[in-house]
C-alpha cells in the first residue's frame, strides 16, 4: 500500500536534510539576511543554540502579505523557474529553510520593510501557523528559534553538548565574517560578546580579529584572473600550518563551500613548502562565472561541482605557487646568544635532554666512528664496535676503548640484509626468542653492548642470543609509558618556562581548549587565560628533549577539535605522537653510557618490545641461527 505523506511529515523529512544541528539553522537564517542586503547582522545563541537562537539584521525586511508564504515549503524569492538555477547568485534559493526550521522548533519572526509604517510579528510552532500581529519594530528582520527538535526527541538526542554545539556555531560565524568583509557581524554566546567585525571591506582586519596577530602577520597576498575565474585573498607562509584542514578557508561567489578540486589545488601548491600531513592557512575569495558551477548538488549547499575541473585546478595551483615563490620563505634562525623569543620557550639545560642521557650529536666525544670500506666497495655500511674488556673502564676519564676495524665483503653485506629482514613468517619465532630476554632487571649485568650500527641500531649480546635495538623506537616507548603512567596517576611533571608562550586561538579552538583544559594539565601543560581568545602557556611537559611545544600544543588541540573530546584511547594516541616527536631519532650517534641507560629504562617498561605505534624495539637471533648461516652447522 502506498501512502501519501502529510505536509507535517514532509517538512520533518526536509528538516532532516537541511537542519542537522543549531549551526545549520544559523547558516540558513544568516544567508537569508545576507541575501536581504543586510550590512549588519547579529547572531545570538544560548545553550549552544539548542534552546535559543536569534538572528537580527538591517536588511530589506519581508512585506506583510509575504510573511505566511515564507514559511511554506519551496517558497522563495530567489528564483522563479528552473532556468534561474543556471545563474543563481544568492546564497539561499531552495525555499526549504524556514519551513524546515519551523517544523522542528518554535519560531518567532519580527520584520519591517522601509515602506511600512510599522512592523509585524508572526509565530509558527512545530509547523503550525500562528497569527500575524502589527508591532513596532526597526527596519529589517529578527528571527528567534526556540527549543530546537522539541517535537523530535530522537533528533535532539543526537546533538552534542551545548559547548560543542556552540563551537560549531562559532566556526560558522567566523567563516561568514571572512566570506563577507562588507558586512558587520556580531556574535553573542550566552550573553557574552565573542566576535564583532567592522564590515569595512578589509579582509586582513577580519583575519586579525578571527585568528590573531601571529597569523595576520604571516600572510602572502594571492591574486589572479582568467576569463571565467577571479581569485584574491591571502595565504599563509609555511610557518602557519595545522594538523587538519580547519585553516583552509575559501569562498566561491560569497559562499563558504567545499570542493575537492579546490582543496587538492591548494594542498598540491604547498607540496615542497610544508611537511606532509600539515595543512596551510588560506582565506581566498573566488568570483566564478555561474555557468561553470553547480551548487544545487547538496541539501545544505556545501558542495560544489565545476564543469571545467582541470582548468580550475590549474589556475588555482599556478596562482598559489607563483605567490609562494615570490616570498622569502627562509626560516629565521635564532642564535643562542640573541635572547629568547616568546614563541620558543627557553628551557633549562637539564630539560633539553633525557635524564642522564644527552642525545645532542655534537656532544659525543667518547667514541669515534670508523669510516671503513672494503677495498673497491664504497657502499659498505659504517659500524662502531666496543671491544670486550675484562675490567671496568676508568672512571676518571670516562673514555671508551678505540673501536677496531672490521672489513666486510659485499657478499657479507648481502647476507646481513637477508638475515636482518624480519618478515611476517618469522614473527612467531621472534616472540619465542624473547621469552628469556635480557630486558629483565635481574639480567642487567649479564648482557654486553657490542656497538652501534648506522648511528641507529645497538648490537647487544646476551647468553646465546644476539639483539639489535632501534634506539628511536626504544626511547619512544620509554617516554610513552612514563607519560601514560603520570596521566594514570594524575601526577603530571611540568617544567616552568620563562618567558611564557602567548598563543592566540580562534573561537572554536578557545572553546575546545576550555572544554579539555584538564587533559592538557594531565600531559604537563600549565596555562591560563590571557584575555579573550589568548592564552599564556607557563609550563610544558618535563623530562622531554627540547621540542616545538607550541606546535605540539596546537597539534593536540586540532585533534581534539576533530574528535570532539579526548577519551582514553585518543589520549593514548596523542601521547604516542608526542613521544615519537620527543624521542632520539635514527642516524644520531649516542654514547655507550647513553645506550646502557636506554636499556636500563627500557627494562622497566610494561611492554618493552614494541613502540606505541607497534614497531619492534628489538629483533633477535640465536647463536644457532648465526652459526647455521656461516655453515658451521649443516
Query: Rounded to whole angstroms, how far apart are CA atoms 621 and 419?
Result: 9
**Coil, helix or strand for 608?**
coil
At residue 343, does pLDDT exceed 60?
Answer: no
CB distance 383 to 453 below 8 Å: yes
At residue 557, does pLDDT exceed 80?
Answer: yes
Query: How much is the pTM?
Result: 0.63
At residue 393, does pLDDT exceed 70?
Answer: no
CATH 3.30.230.10 maps onto the chain at 204-326
CATH architecture designation of domain 7-200: 2-Layer Sandwich (3.30)
Q: Tell me the sheet residues that pair with 221.
A: 234
pLDDT (0 to 100) of residue 399:
34
Backbone angles phi, psi at 342, to 5 degrees: -70, -15
- Average pLDDT of the residues in 494-504: 87
At residue 13, does pLDDT exceed 60?
Answer: no
Query: Rounded to whole angstroms, how far apart are CA atoms 386 and 400?
Result: 8
* Joined grid coordinates for residue 122: 508572526
Q: Which fold has domain 338-366+380-388+403-634?
A: formyl-coa transferase, domain 3 (3.30.1540)
If pLDDT is split at 50, 70 and 90, which confidence band does 590 have?
confident
Query: Rounded to whole angstroms, how far apart are CA atoms 190 and 53?
Result: 10
- Average pLDDT of the residues in 127-155: 90
If pLDDT is split at 50, 70 and 90, which confidence band does 15 have?
low
* Joined grid coordinates for residue 440: 629483565
pLDDT (0 to 100) of residue 250:
93
At residue 370, does pLDDT exceed 60?
Answer: no
At residue 94, does pLDDT exceed 60?
Answer: no
* Joined grid coordinates for residue 178: 571572512
- Average pLDDT of the residues in 591-602: 85
Sign of CA dihedral 234, 235, 237, 239: positive
pLDDT (0 to 100) of residue 585:
80
DSSP class per residue in 145-167: EESTTTT-HHHHHTS--HHHHHH
Angle between helices 260-269 and 309-326 (to 10 degrees): 30
At residue 563, does pLDDT exceed 90?
Answer: no
Q: Which residues 6+ apart lie within 8 Å of 166 measured at CB?
A: 45, 48, 49, 189, 190, 511
- Average pLDDT of the residues in 486-497: 76
Backbone angles phi, psi at 223, to 5 degrees: -155, 150
- Average pLDDT of the residues in 388-411: 35
If pLDDT is split at 50, 70 and 90, which confidence band does 549 have?
confident
Of 90-99, 212-221, 418-427, 596-605, highest mean pLDDT: 212-221
pLDDT (0 to 100) of residue 38:
95
CATH 3.30.565.10 maps onto the chain at 7-200
pLDDT (0 to 100) of residue 620:
86
CATH 3.30.1540.20 maps onto the chain at 338-366+380-388+403-634
At residue 352, does pLDDT exceed 60?
Answer: no
> For 204-326, which CATH class?
alpha beta
Question: Hunting for cell 576569463 — which residue is that?
Answer: 227
* Joined grid coordinates for residue 324: 609562494
Query: Rounded to whole angstroms, how far apart are CA atoms 440 and 245?
Result: 45
At residue 282, does pLDDT exceed 80?
Answer: yes
Of 377-391, 424-438, 510-524, highest mean pLDDT: 510-524
Amino acid at each position: 500500500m502506498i501512502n501519501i505523506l502529510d505536509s507535517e511529515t514532509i517538512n520533518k523529512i526536509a528538516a532532516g536534510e537541511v537542519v542537522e544541528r543549531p549551526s545549520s539553522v544559523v547558516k540558513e537564517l544568516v544567508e537569508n539576511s545576507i541575501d536581504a542586503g543586510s550590512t549588519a547582522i547579529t547572531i545570538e545563541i544560548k545553550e549552544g543554540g539548542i534552546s535559543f537562537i536569534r538572528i537580527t539584521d538591517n536588511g530589506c525586511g519581508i512585506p506583510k502579505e509575504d510573511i505566511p508564504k515564507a514559511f511554506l515549503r519551496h517558497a522563495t524569492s530567489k528564483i522563479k523557474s528552473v532556468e534561474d538555477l543556471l545563474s543563481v547568485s544568492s546564497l539561499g534559493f531552495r525555499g526549504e529553510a524556514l519551513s524546515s526550521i519551523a517544523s522542528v522548533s518554535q519560531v518567532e519572526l519580527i520584520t519591517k520593510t522601509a515602506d511600512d509604517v510599522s512592523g509585524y510579528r508572526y509565530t509558527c510552532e512545530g509547523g503550525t501557523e500562528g497569527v500575524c500581529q502589527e508591532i513596532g519594530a526597526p527596519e529589517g528582520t529578527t528571527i528567534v528559534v526556540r527549543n530546537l527538535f522539541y517535537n523530535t526527541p530522537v533528533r535532539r538526542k543526537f546533538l552534542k553538548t551545548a559547548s560543542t554545539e556552540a563551537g560549531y556555531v562559532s566556526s560558522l560565524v567566523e567563516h561568514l565574517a571572512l566570506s563577507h568583509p562588507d558586512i558587520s557581524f556580531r556574535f553573542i554566546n550566552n550573553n557574552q560578546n565573542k566576535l564583532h567585525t567592522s564590515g569595512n571591506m578589509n579582509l586582513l582586519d577580519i583575519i586579525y580579529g578571527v585568528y590573531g596577530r601571529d597569523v595576520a602577520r604571516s600572510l602572502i597576498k594571492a591574486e589572479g584572473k582568467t576569463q571565467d575565474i577571479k581569485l584574491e585573498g591571502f595565504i599563509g607562509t609555511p610557518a602557519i600550518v595545522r594538523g587538519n584542514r580547519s585553516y583552509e578557508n575559501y569562498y566561491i561567489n560569497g559562499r563558504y563551500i567545499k570542493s575537492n578540486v579546490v582543496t587538492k589545488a591548494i594542498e598540491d601548491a604547498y607540496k615542497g613548502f610544508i611537511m606532509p600531513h600539515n595543512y596551510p592557512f588560506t582565506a581566498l575569495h573566488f568570483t566564478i562565472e555561474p555557468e561553470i558551477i553547480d551548487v544545487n548538488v547538496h541539501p545544505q549547499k556545501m558542495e560544489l561541482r565545476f564543469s571545467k575541473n582541470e582548468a580550475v585546478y590549474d589556475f588555482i595551483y599556478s596562482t598559489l605557487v607563483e605567490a609562494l615563490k615570490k616570498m622569502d620563505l627562509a626560516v629565521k634562525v635564532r642564535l643562542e646568544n640573541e635572547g629568547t623569543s616568546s614563541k620558543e620557550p627557553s628551557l633549562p639545560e637539564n630539560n633539553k635532554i633525557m635524564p642522564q642521557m644527552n642525545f645532542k650529536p655534537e656532544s659525543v666525544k667518547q667514541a669515534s666512528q670508523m669510516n671503513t670500506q672494503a677495498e673497491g666497495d664504497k657502499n659498505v655500511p659504517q659500524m662502531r664496535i666496543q671491544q670486550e674488556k675484562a675490567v671496568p673502564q676508568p672512571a676518571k676519564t670516562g673514555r671508551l676503548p678505540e673501536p677496531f676495524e672490521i672489513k666486510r665483503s659485499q657478499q657479507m653485506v648481502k647476507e646481513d640484509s637477508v638475515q636482518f629482514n624480519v618478515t611476517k613468517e618469522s614473527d612467531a619465532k621472534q616472540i619465542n626468542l624473547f621469552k628469556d630476554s635480557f630486558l629483565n632487571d635481574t639480567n642487567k649485568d649479564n648482557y654486553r653492548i657490542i656497538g652501534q650500527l648506522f648511528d641507529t641500531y645497538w648490537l647487544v649480546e646476551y647468553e646465546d642470543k644476539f639483539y639489535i635495538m632501534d634506539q628511536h623506537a626504544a626511547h619512544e616507548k620509554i617516554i610513552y609509558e612514563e607519560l601514560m603512567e603520570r596521566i594514570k596517576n594524575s601526577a603530571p611533571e611540568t617544567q616552568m618556562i620563562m618567558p611564557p608562550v602567548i598563543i592566540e586561538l580562534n573561537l572554536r579552538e578557545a572553546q575546545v581548549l576550555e572544554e579539555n583544559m584538564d587533559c592538557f594539565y594531565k600531559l604537563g601543560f600549565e596555562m591560563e587565560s590571557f584575555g579573550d581568545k589568548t592564552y599564556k602557556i607557563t609550563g610544558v611537559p618535563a623530562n622531554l628533549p627540547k621540542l616545538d611545544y607550541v606546535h605540539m600544543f596546537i597539534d593536540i588541540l586540532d585533534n581534539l577539535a576533530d574528535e570532539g573530546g579526548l577519551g582514553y584511547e585518543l589520549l593514548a594516541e596523542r601521547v604516542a605522537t608526542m613521544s615519537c616527536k620527543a624521542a632520539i631519532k635514527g642516524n644520531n650517534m649516542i654514547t655507550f653510557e647513553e645506550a646502557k641507560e636506554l636499556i636500563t629504562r627500557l627494562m622497566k617498561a610494561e611492554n618493552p618490545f614494541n613502540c606505541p605505534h607497534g614497531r619492534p624495539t628489538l629483533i633477535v637471533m640465536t647463536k644457532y641461527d648465526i652459526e647455521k648461516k656461516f655453515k658451521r652447522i649443516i
